[in-house]
Structures are given as structure tokens and as C-alpha cells.
Chain A
Amino acid sequence: MEPIKAFSGSVVALPINDIDTDQIIPARYLKVTDKAGLGAAAFTDWRYNADGSPKLEFPLNQEQYKGATVLVAGHNFGCGSSREHAPWALMGTGLKAVVSTYFADIFKGNALKNGLLPIVVDEDTQKQLISLSQEDPTTQVTIDLESQTLTLPDGRAVKFPVDPFSRYCLLNGVDQLGFLLNLDDETLAYEEKYPARVNTTA
């Protein structure tokens, strides 16, 4: 995985609460066996009419928001299903970060494992970002994972929380599986102490 440092990008707003993973990527697109191409189906039912034409009122379809890398959403982004296809699809549209007041637990974990930053801000900052994006689509913010700050156009830097381990992995471009594989001895010791109670292969 590529290390993630600081980046600047423009902001697109979806000021809707409780955006669930079925909206981010509907289940009918989950019959795949790889991660490729899911970006085309991101928010598909909000994004396209029945005849396949784009809904022009949907921000992600609007010319002025093309190239946005930061999505600011309503409260509780990513609720519902555990599908990791959700962050894969969002990243497939070019997004690098999603900003909300809080995220569903499973989505947050999935996003962090893929380098899509779930950025938790207070409600005032969320509202400010939504207005800034709507008033001026060229609005840029800077996100710095090292200092855990999101910097607004007026220079105000807002601190955001990230669990230290995810932050370390993202900054250094290492994945979490490697860490677990290195604990083989400890896992073996655990298994010796607590033998299995079921054997599914029996």
C-alpha cells in the first residue's frame, strides 16, 4: 500500500444523514470476485435515472465537482452492511477522504484498511464544509494524517482522531495483516492454552 501523507483536494457535499452502504454500493453489484470497477457503481441509484442517464442534480455528477477528493456527508456515514465494497467503490470514484460527525464502526475499519480516511469533525465544521463546498466548488482543504489536521480555506486547522495503529500503518504504507502474521508464536501459545471446542472439519 502507498503511504499516505498530507494532501489537498476539493470538496463535494452530500448533506444526508445515515448514508448506508446499500446506497454507496447496492448489493446487486456485489457478485464480483475482485475490487476493480466498483467506482462506476458508487451511489448508482442516486446518481443515474432508470434509463442510465446521469441525474444532473446529484453533486457527484456535476462538472464543478469533478475531481473532488473529499466527500463531506451527514451524520453516521456508512451504516448498514459490512461490505468492504463500499470503500472500494468510493475510492474508485477518486475519493481519498470522507468527512462526517461520526462513522459506522465496520465502515470506519474497512475504510482505514484501504487508505480512505474517515475524518470525524464536530458538527459546526461539518456544516461549514458543506456550505463552503456548495458556495464555491473550488474550495480546497488540506488533510494531514501526520498531524491529524484538516485545514479549512481560512487557515483554521481542525484536529481529527485516528487510532494510532491505523495511522502508523497508513503513514508507512504497511498493512495490518503483516503485523498479525508476525504474532504467530503468541497465537500458537494461545491455541495451546485454549483448545478448540468445535472442529468444523469433523
Chain B
Amino acid sequence: MSAQTLFEKVWNSHLVRPQTPDTPAVLYIDLHLVHEVTSPQAFTVLRERGLKVRRPDRTIGTMDHSTPTTPRGLDGLIPVTDVQAAAQLDVMTKNCQDFGIPLYKLGTENQGIVHVIGPEQGFTQPGMTIVCGDSHTSTHGAFGALAFGIGTSEVAHVLATQTLLQNQPQTMEVRVNGSLHSGVTAKDIILAIIAKIGVGGGTGYVLEYTGSAIRALSMEGRMTICNMSIEGGARAGMIAPDETTFQYVAGKPYAPKGADWDAAVANWRTLPTDEGATYDTLVELNADDLVPMITYGTNPGMGMKITDLVPDPDKLTDYSAKVALDKALTYMGLQPNQSLLGKKVDVVFIGSCTNSRIGDLREAAKFIEGRKVADGVRVMVVPGSQRVKAQAEAEGLDRIFREAGAEWREAGCSMCIAMNGDQLAPGQYAVSTSNRNFEGRQGKGGRTFLASPLTAAATAIAGVVTDPRTV
């Protein structure tokens, strides 16, 4: 067989039926993650057609998007005061019960953001196909899985058949060689990639991140990178599994054990892209050149080095790009050629499926320890899962955050998507470790600067946008 890329190996080994001129490929799905927001209408389809869930044993449900992150009541439960959200959660519970799907209910031991719990439970494994009605499913590609977001119609397809119709995407190698300087993180790598290729640059592609800077990253850093592939327009991003991957997966509750483990690892070692395999296109960055990144605009492609000045629409030659930048700066209340360093912020959000894992929290806590949050700044720290929360509390990170004056919350998507009441007020500025700075994303009229947990922590202490290398 000719040399294959990581993507091609996973794709080809999941073909129930290959693509033809008239029909897309039929792809088998190993793992389906389901949450409360994008699944109700899919279950309705199943009920209307009298269908069952084909493989409940390859499906898990969690509650994360519309769930509150506010403190537990005296009964130990997290109260859901939003009537509509409560109704949606009830529907999720009923759907999982009726169709036999295991559900990680709000506030229970293993509940959390769908892209945090998959890896931490060991559901996410190299070489798998993984889908979810959520665009940040690309996160799981960090393990060498082919993982991508799907719509609700497709959620119904997978529930009913465990398969999906897909046209084969093209491949893009994103090669990041060199090594990161102190204060520069995985988040800065991906923000730099998206600033380079643009918010639509990856459309039609699956990305594979390669190079020494990627290999040097922890699994959590790799997840941060793959998570934001969709912000460059790519449905999926992948990183070849290696010893770092195997070490992370080993011992997770649902990881293979004993002889199964050895067989699995032997198989996973065959996944990396073969020598001589080719990609459709290549993008290159050098990690040595990177500094902390920040976004200034209203999509994740509008990012720059934190030390740069906000770009000037008048210097753009493309008319539609100029209009877009004008519109973004008006929304953001920013002037061309201004520095964001020193810009006062109202809120700092540390959380989301991009940056809410234990490593992210450790990094932020290390920075914040012994310091105080600046007056007038609200700092929300939202762990990605109940397990992350428990681990952080065991390490005393919650104490560091609380003593500094930050809020330590229950697990969930929270202010990344702002549908649970955690949100910016109109006009407020936030430095956020999440993944989207779209207009109103973190609350109607709210203005988001995307950055790394380190930059967020430095900003929380200073009260103004701060380069973490200068503190």
C-alpha cells in the first residue's frame, strides 16, 4: 500500500462503504458524545421513526452547555434556576434513559465539558472516529483520532446507524518546528496559526499538526491546539500519537488494560503518517518566533502578537477585508494602531474546552499565587469537569484562586458560550481563555480578547491587558 497520512489511515479504516461519484463515503463512528443542546431534535427524529440507538455502548451523554456553574445548595445539588435550561436538561435525562445511553448528569462525579471528559475517562483513544454535535469535537484529534463536529441531523444519523455520510476532506500539514520561549504556550501557537491562515483558511481540510514544537507539548497543550482547528475553518485537526499520548491514556478508567493495552499500543504505533506520504498543502510556523498572542477583533483570525498594534483598516487593499476590520474595531471600541497592552478589562475568564484542564489551572494558579486580583476586575475560574475541579481542590489551587479574589466555580462551558447566565454585560471587556470572540459570544455587547491562561492570569492581577513575560 502506498504511503499514507495519519488522517488517511484513520479514514480508510473506518469505511463501511467507500466514496463513489454519486455517494459520499459511509464512515463508521467509534464514539459519539452527546450533550443537551444539540441532541433533543435528533432524539425526536428517532421517536418519530420508531428507531432505537444502534450502539448505546459507543455513546455517552453529558450536561455542560446550558448548565449553571453556581455553588451547590445545602442538598449538594447545583440548582438550575433557568426554567428553559432546566426543561432542556430534563429532556436530556429522559432521552438518555429511554434510549439506554450512559449520562453524566449535572454535578455528578464525572460530569463536565464533553471535550474534557472524553479524554479524562479514556473514551478518547488514538485511531478512533469521534463525533459530537459540537464544533470543538476537533479537540480529540490531539490523540490521533479523527474527531469533528456535526449538526443535529447527523447526530440522529449516528444515533440510529453509528455511521455518517462524509465526502473525503483534503489534508493540510501545519508544521511547527523550533521551541517555545518561556511565557509562550500552546494557545499562542494556535492563535498564531489562525491569524496566519484566517478564519476560513482551513475550510475543506483536515489539519495535521507536526514538528518539534508540537511533539514537545503535553496532551493538554495538544488538545488546546486541536480544539481551535475549527476556528481556522477546519472541521478536524490531528496530532500523531506518541509516548506522550500513550502515557496520558494509560490507566484512564476506560482505557484498555493488560494484554488489550499492549495490543492497542502496538496498533496505535502504526498510525503516524508514513515517510513519503503527502498532504494537499503545507503551512509552516517557527515556535522560536512566537510570543504571547491576543485577538483584537470579532473572529479568532483577528489575532496578533500581544506587543503589536491593532491593524489599520486604511492599510488594507481588499475592500471586503477593510469593511470587516472597520466593523470589528467599531464593535470592539478600539482604534487602529493602538496597543492592547494596558487596556483596562472588566472580566477575566479562565475556562472552556480550550483551556480548563488541570494543567491550564496549575499554570494560572502558579502565576496568581501570592498575588491579588486587581480592583474592579471579575475573575472567573471554571474547571472543565468535576474531576478537574476535585483534582485542583486536592492540590489547593481553588484556595489560591479564592484568596486572590477570583471566583471558583462548578464545571461547565460557562462564559465561553454564555447560555447559562455566566456572561459579559454590554460593552464590557474580557480577556478569555476560550475559543471564540464573535460579537456577543460571551454576552450580548460583550467584547472578548482571546489569550492564553498565562496572559489571562497576568491580566487578572494587573487589571489591564498584560504580557505575562513582563511580570
- Measured CB to CB, the residues of A under 8 A from B are 15-18, 20, 22-23, 26-28, 30-35, 45, 50, 74-76, 79-84, 102-106, 109-110, 113-114, 163-165, 168, 175-177, 179-181, 183-184, 186-187, 190-191, 194, 196-202
Contacts and interface: CB of A to CB of B under 8 A. Distances in A.
Given A106-B235, A198-B125, A32 B88 contact: yes
22 contacts: A22-B438, A27-B418, A28-B418, A30-B419, A80-B135, A80-B436, A82-B150, A104-B203, A106-B235, A113-B151, A176-B157, A177-B156, A186-B17, A187-B54, A191-B162, A194-B13, A196-B55, A198-B30, A198-B123, A200-B31, A200-B57, A200-B123
B390 interface: no
B21 A82 contact: no
Contacts of B329: none
B281 interface: no
Nearest to B122: A198
B165 interface: yes
Given A15-B320, A18-B199, 18 more contacts: A17-B323, A22-B439, A22-B441, A27-B418, A31-B88, A75-B200, A81-B436, A83-B37, A84-B38, A104-B203, A106-B135, A106-B230, A113-B153, A184-B161, A187-B28, A194-B28, A197-B264, A198-B122
B254 interface: yes
B69 to A, nearest CB: 15
B272 interface: no
Complex A-B, nearest 10 residue pairs according to Cβ-Cβ distance, in ascending order: A76-B200, A33-B40, A110-B151, A82-B149, A84-B151, A84-B152, A113-B153, A31-B84, A82-B135, A180-B161
Q: Which of A18, A165, A201: most chain B CB closer than 10 A?
A: A18
A26 B102 CA distance: 29
B92 to A, nearest CB: 9
Contacts of B133: 82, 84
A26 B24 CA distance: 31
Give the size category of B's interface with A: 35 or more
Interface in B55-76: 55-60, 65-66
Given A22-B441, A102-B200, A201 B57 contact: yes
Given A181-B160, A194-B28, A198-B125, A83 B38 contact: yes
Q: Which of A28, A45, A104, A175: most chain B CB closer than 10 A?
A: A28
Given A82-B38, A104-B203, A198-B31, A180 B160 contact: yes
Contact of B163 (A27, A30, A187): A187
A27 B421 CA distance: 11
B128 A197 contact: yes
B313 interface: no
A54 to B, nearest CB: 16
Contact of B44 (A34, A164, A184): A34
Q: Is the interface of A mostly helix, strand, loop or mixed?
A: loop
B88 A20 contact: no
Q: Which of A15, A22, A163: most chain B CB closer than 10 A?
A: A22
Nearest to B84: A31
Contact of A186 (B16, B101, B152, B440): B16
A110 B165 CA distance: 12
Nearest to A81: B135
B316 to A, nearest CB: 12
Interface in B143-161: 149-154, 156-157, 160-161
A106 to B, nearest CB: 6
B22 A200 contact: no
Nearest to A176: B165
Given A82-B151, A186-B16, A196-B30, A34 B200 contact: no
A31 to B, nearest CB: 4
A120 to B, nearest CB: 11
Nearest to B166: A109
A187 B162 contact: yes
A177 B157 contact: yes
B151 A106 contact: yes
B149 A106 contact: yes
Contacts of A181: 51, 160-161
B23 interface: yes
Nearest to B123: A198
B100 interface: yes
Contacts of A35: 41
Nearest to B37: A30
